Amino acid sequence: MNDKYLNFDEKRMNIFNELIKRYWNGDLKDVNDLNELAEHIKTEFGFDDSDLSFIRNHIRIAMGQDPRGDEQFNNELDILKSSNRVLQPVVSKVEGPCEYCSNENCECCEIGKYETQVYKRLNETISCGYGAMNCDFGALADKIEFMPMIDLLKDKDTPVYVTVAPAIVGQFGDDVSMGQLRSAFKLLGFKDMIEVALFADILTIKEAFEFNHLVKSEEDFFLTSCCCPIWFNMIKKAYPDIYEYLSPSVSPMIASGRILKILYEGAKVVFIAPCVAKKAEIKEPGLEGAIDYVLNFRELKEIFEALNINLNELQVDDKDQASLGGRLYARSGGVSFSVKTVVNRLEPTRVIKLKPQKVNGIKNCKNVLSELGNRKKSDANFIEGMGCIGGCVGGPKTNIDVEKATKFVNDFGEDSFILTPFDNLNVMKILEAFNIKSVYEIMQNERLEKILSRE
């Protein structure tokens, strides 16, 4: 075992930190500057000359680019300045450290044995992020999408909005409010911060109508959680027989990007996530273009530190944008709770009541879907799945543990002055842009229906 590769994820964040500071301040101008950074990393962590190719590849990944077979830097900065998106694969395999790994069941080492399947398995098997997170040696890493954003954020002619996952609350300190996060984003150059929970409210209303339309008997059931790409892709690829029962809705993230780009012409939209899977979702055919870049909570924490943004010292810029129900999308059971509140408002005398089954964690999701595929349905008629234990609050790129994160989400949800999505006047302001006068008209508006649905 070689200790210099151990806990490499921390070292990787240090590489990212150095890149941010140098590029933001105009100190990365040519190949010589990149080479100097590689030498700095080598010295800082006790690497030697034989590791320089490995270090260069991690610098490239931190810039949102693919690792390369050639060892020397060449046109990386030109690519950075000209790129307007980060390409697949989301997770990259880096040569070198696997020779020091003693884990016989290590998935990234297995990928190295089957080079023809590398991209397929990286995208379909471990792009949820846990594979990359569990590799101590840096053999797997997800591309970081912040570096291509820097010039964009400094361009005063392009409005850039940031939408944040509901799980973000509490991730940057017990005393850091969402209003202080909004101030921090504005310091970075964003036009404004918007809760994705607002768009979860819109989708909640849509799914409530769909549930009422599709579940008419005790045998009927409805599959959701559009917010989790792991759950969605699991059903689509492994359980095609029950795919027809899945909600056709896009995720709140995709809805936020599509709607904001209609409301604000020429805008760019960045999403802040607790996982890696969202980086893959924005690159899926049919979903591309809604969101320009995705950052996760750990990357954002490093950005704040690199640019000396002390969140506790910032002014509070609060806006109550989303309902209790929309904010609870962050944890397991939140979608069910939110949709049920709207179903009860739409049809208070409904005979077939919404009976939820909440499942989280990949293993548990597979078990439930296998039972449904074999037509061993429980009494539940609304099955909500999330790939991570606890829901999005348990994502692989969060900064705090799932129990603490869940409490923050519950408290923040209860702080909302808006009880249900049905009561959210912010939703109505958005609907007015589509000439919709009432939430009851959502399903009759073809333009909005297309925006909120997968192709």
Inter-CA distances, 15 with 44, 87, 130, 351, Å: 10, 21, 21, 59
Select the highest-mean-pLDDT range: 82-86, 188-192, 215-219. 188-192
pLDDT at 99: 65
Average pLDDT for the chain: 90
Question: Residue 126: what residue type?
Answer: I
What is the secondary structure of 287-311 as a DSSP string? TTTS-SEEEEHHHHHHHHHHTT--G
Average pLDDT over residues 198-202: 98
Query: What predicted TM-score, i.e. pTM, was given to this entire model?
Result: 0.93
Inter-CA distances, 108 with 20, 69, 139, 428, Å: 28, 18, 7, 47
Give the count of beta carbons closer than 10 Å to the beta carbon of residue 285.
6
Multiple choice CATH, 152-197+254-313, 3.10.20.30, 3.40.640.10, 3.40.50.1780, 3.40.800.20: 3.40.50.1780
The rounded distance, in Å, linking the Cα atoms of 389 and 370 is: 19
Inter-CA distances, 46 with 13, 19, 56, 246, Å: 16, 19, 15, 51
Radius of gyration of the chain (CA): 22
Is residue 113 predicted with pLDDT exceeding 60?
no
- When comparing pLDDT for 124 and 154, which is higher? 154
Average pLDDT over residues 203-230: 91
What is the secondary structure of 361-418 as a DSSP string? SHHHHHHHHHHHHTT---S-SEEEEESSTTSGGG-TT-SS-HHHHHHHHHHHHHH-S-
pLDDT at 5: 67
Burial class (CB in 10 A: 0-12, 13-18, 19+), 4: middle
pLDDT at 102: 62
Listed range (117-126, 207-216, 372-381, 413-422) with the worst mean pLDDT: 117-126
Average pLDDT over residues 103-125: 49
Is residue 29 predicted with pLDDT exceeding 60?
yes
pLDDT at 95: 77
Is residue 121 predicted with pLDDT exceeding 50?
no
Instruction: Note whether 188 and 194 are within 8 A (CB).
Output: no
173 SS3 class = coil
- Reported as half-sphere exposure (CB side, CA atoms, 13 A), residue 175 has a value of 6
Burial class (CB in 10 A: 0-12, 13-18, 19+), 450: exposed
Q: How confident is the model at residue 125 (pLDDT cuts 50, 70, 90)?
A: very low
Query: Omega into 89 within 30° of 0, i.e. cis?
Result: yes
**pLDDT tens digits for range 42-73:** 999 999 998 999 999 999 999 999 998 777 99
The rounded distance, in Å, linking the Cα atoms of 89 and 117 is: 12
Token reading at 242: 């029950």
Residue 277 makes CB contacts below 8 A (sequence gap 6+) with 127, 128, 129, 228, 229, 230, 387
Question: Residue 260: what residue type?
Answer: L
Is residue 448 predicted with pLDDT exceeding 90?
yes
Q: How confident is the model at residue 312 (pLDDT cuts 50, 70, 90)?
A: very high
Give the domain 203-250+321-451 fold. Answer: Fe-only Hydrogenase (Larger Subunit); Chain L, domain 3 (3.40.950)
pLDDT at 455: 78
Is residue 100 predicted with pLDDT exceeding 70?
no
Is residue 324 predicted with pLDDT exceeding 50?
yes
Is residue 112 predicted with pLDDT exceeding 90?
no
∠ CA 123-124-127 to the nearest 5 degrees?
55
Helix, strand, coil share of the chain (percent; to 5): 50, 10, 40
105 SS3 class = coil
pLDDT at 115: 39
Question: Residue 177: what residue type?
Answer: S
Beta bridge partners, 178, equal none
pLDDT at 118: 41
**pLDDT tens digits for range 178-196:** 999 999 999 999 999 999 9
- When comparing pLDDT for 454 and 327, which is higher? 327
The rounded distance, in Å, linking the Cα atoms of 311 and 206 is: 36
Is residue 22 predicted with pLDDT exceeding 50?
yes
Percent share of the chain, pLDDT over 70: 89
**pLDDT tens digits for range 247-296:** 999 999 999 999 999 999 999 999 999 999 999 999 999 999 999 999 99
Instruction: Note whether 447 and 434 are within 8 A (CB).
Output: yes
Token reading at 442: 């959502």
The phi and psi torsions of 361 (rounded to 5 degrees) equal 95, 135
